[in-house]
């Protein structure tokens, strides 16, 4: 009986996927005036996404905390691709940031076509050992900034419809990971937000996608951490930020809702989503314990 | 004497949880925004049950409140072994008409206060173990609801947080539960909204506030992880959990659209 139910859902998912993958033109006609905003675009996955957008001829607005990394990203992108890159050094966890960014864009009459909410923070053992302010910072950066930016930039995106929103969550958003408690809780909110937002903005011709990558090797610590916790399986599943960015942008323009780059990650993510959450928690928990021994 | 802290305990679900705890002879610490509501609740509880009730008025959407509460508990030497994070608000507006400030309050009251208050009080709960944490999620936290987007996203974070926290705190003998009620008619406006949005199904799922508290406390003390009060709500919760999120979101979107066309 259980098998029959699981089978039914796999079939159902396939139907949903096929129904979605209608051929769509990638909106490449004239991108010389069109802009894409990447929040958290100076490094890591954000930079990978920015590069994939630059390849398609979009001008970029990059937002991050530090001006020097932003400037480096700008120089690299402008020398490689014939586009214009604007940079804004803003801490997205501040209350005023979303308003500030929206005002900046409106004043310059930016033709905003794509909004990518990439900025986010994660780490191991991120609850019991964390100070209260770090918890708040994580909630503000991972959830609030994504919701607030989508809200304040909505009028601009609506004006330039059809347009695209890409939120970056994580595979951790599909099921709770005890050692990454805060991270997976906040990312689960981003996944839910994207699901609902897609239908709320459907009539406005704004397509919402959600990138849920497995491990991505953006920093040497992550390589070490993945190897220790998930072993060979994690190493096989992991991808580099460039590939993730390219897949994310390609699928965003195809209006796909949940984007999981990599075959192995895709398979694991669908298994995680089917299993009861309780099981996944103890599974993740035992993997964490192996590491501490 | 053991104490139970109920954040958001002056009215609604919080008050009914407080009542169920009072019945079991726990002394109560009630935290809420409104001073008058708090003293009303204190009067009722002290009169009906032979317990002590202490109150602290503070706004949980402000970040200094958590430190204020934990300092108050240590200063007065309350031996807390139950923490109920009930404070929350549904918000009547949603994306895309939601004002930015409402968004921020929704996140800070529903999510941030639960995360920070639990963290601040875990040391005290550890000392008084075995103890209990009860977070209040929602049926909306099981699947994305496009008409209550921010609310259901934030509640899903609460669910995920509770699952992980339960696992982390197991060795410390702190049991974590998550209450996931369907519609509870704590205010006339909620009753109207539910019937507007969900019709007969909403009416069937609904449960009275008094009963929710009793079932929640019973589940919490029985070390249950997910507590869904009411038979119909339990059934719906399985449906929501079983189907893919995209499917649920689509169904709700589709019926909303049909309703709008009919109107």
A65-98 confidence digits (pLDDT tens): 999 999 999 999 999 999 999 999 999 999 899 9
Cβ <8 Å between B96 and A176 = no
Angle at B238 between CA B236 and CA B239, to 5 degrees: 65
The DSSP element (H or E) to which A63 belongs, if any, is strand A59-64
Nearest CA in chain A to B102: A148
Phi, psi of A48 (to 5 degrees): -60, -45
The residue among B31, B29, B35, B41 whose CA lies nearest residue B5 is: B29
Mean pLDDT of chain A: 86
Length in residues, chain A = 293
d(CA A159, CA A141): 27
CA B52 to chain centre: 23
Residue range B44-69: mean pLDDT, rounded: 93
Angle at B149 between CA B33 and CA B168, to 5 degrees: 70
pLDDT: which is higher, B195 or B126: B126
Pair A224, A181: CB distance under 8 Å = no
The residue among B180, B193, B260 whose CA lies nearest residue B226 is: B180
The DSSP element (H or E) to which A167 belongs, if any, is strand A163-168
Q: Which of A130, A199, A200 sits opposite B250 (nearest CB)?
A: A199
Q: How much is the pTM?
A: 0.90
**Residues 155-184 in B contacting A (C-alpha not used; CB under 8 Å):** 156-161, 163-168
Strands B174-179 and B131-136: parallel
Q: What percent of chain A has pLDDT over 90?
A: 64
d(CA A247, CA A250): 5
d(CA A115, CA A201): 14
Say how many C-beta atoms besides its own lie within 10 A of residue A289's C-beta. 11
d(CA B180, CA B174): 19
A148 contacts in chain B (CB < 8 Å): 100, 103-104
A258 contacts in chain B (CB < 8 Å): 246
The per-residue pLDDT for range B70-107, each reduced to its tens digit, is 999 999 999 999 999 999 888 777 888 889 999 999 99
Nearest CA in chain B to A129: B119
How many CA atoms, within 13 angstroms, populate the side-chain half-sphere of residue A77?
31
d(CA A219, CA A193): 27
The residue among A275, A144, A116, A152 whose CA lies nearest residue B153 is: A144
The dihedral built from the CA positions of residue B229, B231, B233 and B239, taken in this order, carries a sign that is positive
């Amino acid at each position: 009986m259980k098998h029959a139910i699981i089978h039914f859902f796999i079939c159902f998912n396939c139907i949903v996927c096929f129904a979605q993958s209608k051929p769509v033109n990638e909106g490449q006609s004239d991108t010389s005036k069109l802009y894409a905003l990447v929040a958290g675009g100076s490094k890591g996955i954000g930079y990978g996404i920015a590069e994939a957008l630059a390849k398609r001829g979009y001008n970029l607005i990059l937002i991050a905390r530090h001006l020097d990394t932003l400037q480096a990203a700008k120089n690299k992108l402008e020398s490689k691709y014939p586009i214009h890159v604007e940079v804004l050094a803003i801490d997205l966890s501040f209350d005023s940031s979303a308003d500030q960014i929206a005002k900046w864009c409106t004043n310059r009459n930016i033709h905003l076509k794509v909004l990518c909410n990439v900025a986010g923070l994660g780490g191991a053992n991120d609850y019991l050992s964390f100070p209260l302010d770090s918890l708040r910072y994580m909630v503000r950066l991972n959830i609030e900034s994504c919701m607030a930016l989508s809200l304040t930039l909505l009028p601009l995106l609506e004006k330039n419809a059809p347009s695209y929103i890409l939120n970056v969550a994580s595979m951790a958003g599909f099921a709770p990971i005890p050692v990454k408690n805060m991270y997976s809780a906040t990312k689960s909110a981003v996944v839910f937000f994207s699901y609902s937002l897609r239908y709320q903005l459907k009539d406005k011709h704004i397509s919402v996608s959600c990138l849920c990558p497995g491990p991505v090797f953006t920093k040497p610590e992550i390589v070490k951490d993945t190897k220790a916790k998930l072993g060979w399986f994690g190493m096989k599943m992991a991808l580099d930020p460039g590939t993730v960015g390219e897949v994310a942008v390609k699928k965003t323009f195809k209006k796909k809702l949940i984007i999981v780059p990599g075959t192995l990650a895709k398979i694991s993510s669908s298994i995680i989503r089917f299993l009861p959450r309780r099981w996944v928690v103890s599974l993740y928990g035992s993997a964490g314990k192996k590491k501490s021994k | 004497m053991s104490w139970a802290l109920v954040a958001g305990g002056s009215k609604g679900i919080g008050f009914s949880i407080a009542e169920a705890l009072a019945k079991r002879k726990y002394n109560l610490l009630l935290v809420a925004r409104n001073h008058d509501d708090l003293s009303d609740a204190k009067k009722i509880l002290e009169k009906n049950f032979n317990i002590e009730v202490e109150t602290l008025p503070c706004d949980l959407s402000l970040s200094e409140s958590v430190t204020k509460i934990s300092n108050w508990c240590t200063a007065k030497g309350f031996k807390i072994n139950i923490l109920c994070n009930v404070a929350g608000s549904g918000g009547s507006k949603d994306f895309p008409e939601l004002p930015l400030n409402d968004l921020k309050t929704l996140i800070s009251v529903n999510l941030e206060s639960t995360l920070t208050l639990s963290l601040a009080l875990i040391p005290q709960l550890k000392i008084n173990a075995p103890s209990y944490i009860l977070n209040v999620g929602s049926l909306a936290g099981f699947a994305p609801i496009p008409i209550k987007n921010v609310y259901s996203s934030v509640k899903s974070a609460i669910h995920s947080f509770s699952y992980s926290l339960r696992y982390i705190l197991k060795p410390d003998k702190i049991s974590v539960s998550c209450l996931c009620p369907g519609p509870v008619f704590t205010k006339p406006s909620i009753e109207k909204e539910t019937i507007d949005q969900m019709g007969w199904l909403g009416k069937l799922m609904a449960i009275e506030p008094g009963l929710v508290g009793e079932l929640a406390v019973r589940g919490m003390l029985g070390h249950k992880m997910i507590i869904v009060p009411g038979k119909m709500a339990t059934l719906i919760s399985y449906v929501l959990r079983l189907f893919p999120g995209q499917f649920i979101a689509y169904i709700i979107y589709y019926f909303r659209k049909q309703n709008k066309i009919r109107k």
